[in-house]
Amino acid sequence: MTAALSAEKIISQLNDKFPGAVEEAGADSVLVKSDSLLAVAEHLKTAKGLKFDYLNYITAVDYYQYFEVVYMLTSLENNHSITLKVRCNTRDNPTVPSIRGLWQGADFQEREIYDLMGITFEGHPNLKRIFLWDGFPRHPLRKDWNQ
């Protein structure tokens, strides 16, 4: 059974290694600050006992005041999973660091979020629109886009 790891288990580890990174800890998700995302993600990928080597999905949600990017990671050998969240509070040109360097599976999914939601991922080698054509106006999946 892939146990969804509850946040308490890793919060103490994360607070020790990256003080101030964790903003909130939900029932099974951890909210981190966007500038410490890369460090936390790398720790989660390589630390013994955690070893989250499999990226399930990346998605983004548009809550009117902020964007939230949701990552779900799974560890194949320990068979547990964790959800990471990052928030961007600005609506024009929100940016989040890209984790494509750690998990190659993020390649197309980050391009999709850039295309449909308008969140820029720094460090992504090929951040172009993936589904819509290049001249498409703005980003359709946002809540304030109407035809």
| Chain contacts with other proteins (rule: CB under 8 A) | 1-2, 53-57, 59, 61-62, 70, 72, 76, 79, 83, 103-105, 107-109, 112, 116, 130-133, 140-141
Measured from the CB of residue 57, what is the shortest distance to other proteins in angstroms? 4
50 neighbors 79 (Cβ within 8 angstroms): no
75 neighbors 84 (Cβ within 8 angstroms): no
User: Residue 96, exposed/middle/buried by CB under 10 A (0-12, 13-18, 19+)?
Assistant: buried
* CB closer to other proteins out of 47 and 130: 130
Measured from the CB of residue 141, what is the shortest distance to other proteins in angstroms? 6
Measured from the CB of residue 98, what is the shortest distance to other proteins in angstroms? 14
> CA triplet 54, 56, 62: central angle to 5 degrees?
140
